């Protein structure tokens, strides 16, 4: 059988899983959002914002890259942290390619790196791995040279990319290299899919993101969000009822605020985020409830999707 010219000229298709790992707050979610071209993972200035393994899919003419954004690697203090680390390690196991991400302005070199949980993950890692040095906009270019030299000695990285995820500097070159190094494989997902997570998941994350933005100290880390009702109503705004869980009565009072002002502000900002995401108007009804030590209880972690 003679092969047609169109078949001969067809580009090989590359598809695979790319897992982004590193310390909390190095810019993993910002990078995935920049590469996918959409806000898939919530981003706040606080560490440990990402709790799940969040999947973002980028499909092109000759490639499909499935990015896995992971929680920052740390020593667990709670059962929740253990679940977060399980997500991260499962994502590493799934990966065809690993992006190990560090900050240019806090590169963790020497003894500091040796004690680092994220750095220790590189030990024995057999996956194809890139070193991604983020936040290059915060240092002079020549200051990256000792960082590159140090990490090159410690692990056999296939490629090294100094970038700024926030400004999308160096991300095109990174993406080109990623697609080249992924295996030849048909697409795993339809071309119009950008994530496998549900609308409920994204809505709960947007609410939680606003809590992280608005509060400091322990409040954001003691908070979880559950969508109780999500109804599309013909001729009316969608109805979304969500409960925000905290661990203590004092936290509940802070989250609600005087006269309910703090909760109202969270609701207003989250509603704008949700409407922009869903591209339709919604009525968002938020409630705050106390669930003592939910971060340490297996049943609550399962209910909230942190454990299977």
Which pLDDT does position 6 carry in this prediction?
47
The residue out of 127, 147, 181 marking a domain boundary is 181
Report the pLDDT value the prediction gives residue 8, as an integer from 0 to 100: 46
Q: So what's the pLDDT on residue 307?
A: 82
In a shared domain, residues 93 and 147: yes
Which CATH number characterizes residue 161's domain?
A: 3.40.50.300
Short-list 211, 23, 20, 184, CA closest to 97: 20
> pLDDT: is 39 or 275 the higher one?
275
Note the residue count of the chain: 308
If one counts the domains in the chain, the total is: 2
**Which residue is it, tokens 């706040």?**
44
* Those residues with Cβ within 8 angstroms of residue 268's Cβ, 6 or more apart along the chain or in another chain: none
- Model pLDDT, residue 9: 56
Flag whether pLDDT at 3 surpasses 50: no
The mean pLDDT value for 50-63 works out to 90
- CB count within 10 Å of CB 228 equals 10
Q: Which of residues 134, 151, 181 is at a domain's end?
A: 181
* Residue 14 pLDDT class (50, 70, 90 cuts): very high
Q: What percentage of residues in the chain have a pLDDT greater than 70? A: 97
Q: Do residue 123 and residue 225 come from a single domain?
A: no
Mean pLDDT of 56-81: 93
The predicted-structure confidence for 196-250, as pLDDT tens digits, reads as follows 888 999 999 999 999 999 998 788 899 999 999 999 988 899 999 999 999 999 9
CATH code at 279? 3.30.300.20
Considering the domain architecture, whether residues 140 and 237 belong to the same structural domain is answered as no
- Supply the range of the domain harboring residue 251: 199-303
CA-wise closest residue to 162 among 117, 107, 115, 120: 107
Q: Are residues 121 and 223 part of one domain?
A: no
Q: Which two tokens mark 129?
A: 């791995």
Query: What local confidence, expressed as pLDDT, does residue 61 receive?
Result: 94
Pair (151, 25) in one structural domain:
yes
The mean of the pLDDT values for the chain is: 91
């Amino acid at each position: 059988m003679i092969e047609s010219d169109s078949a001969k000229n067809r580009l090989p298709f590359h598809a695979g899983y790319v897992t982004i790992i590193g310390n909390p707050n190095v810019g993993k979610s910002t990078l995935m959002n920049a590469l996918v071209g959409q806000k898939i993972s919530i981003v706040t200035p606080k560490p440990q914002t990402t709790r799940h393994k969040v999947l973002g899919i980028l499909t092109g003419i000759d490639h499909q890259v499935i990015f896995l954004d992971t929680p920052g690697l740390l020593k667990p203090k709670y059962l929740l942290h253990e679940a977060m680390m399980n997500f991260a390690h499962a994502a590493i196991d799934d990966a065809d390619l690993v992006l190990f991400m560090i900050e240019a302005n806090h590169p963790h070199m020497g003894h500091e790196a040796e004690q680092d949980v994220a750095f220790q993950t590189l030990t024995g890692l057999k996956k194809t791995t890139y070193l991604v040095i983020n936040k290059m906009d915060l240092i002079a270019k020549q200051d990256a040279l000792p960082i590159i030299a140090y990490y090159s000695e410690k692990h056999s990285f296939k490629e090294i990319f100094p970038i700024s995820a926030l400004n999308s500097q160096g991300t095109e070159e990174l993406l080109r290299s990623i697609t080249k190094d992924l295996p030849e494989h048909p697409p795993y997902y339809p071309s119009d899919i950008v994530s496998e997570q549900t609308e409920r998941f994204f809505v709960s994350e947007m609410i939680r993101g606003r809590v992280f933005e608005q509060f400091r100290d322990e409040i954001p880390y003691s908070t979880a969000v559950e969508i109780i009702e999500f109804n599309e109503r013909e001729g009316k705004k969608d109805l979304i009822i969500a409960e925000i869980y905290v661990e203590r009565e004092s936290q509940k009072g802070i989250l609600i605020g005087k006269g309910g002002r703090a909760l109202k502000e969270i609701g207003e900002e989250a509603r704008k985020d949700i409407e922009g995401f869903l591209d339709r108007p919604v009525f968002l009804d938020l409630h705050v409830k106390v669930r003592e030590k939910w971060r340490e209880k297996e049943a609550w972690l399962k209910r909230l999707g942190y454990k299977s």
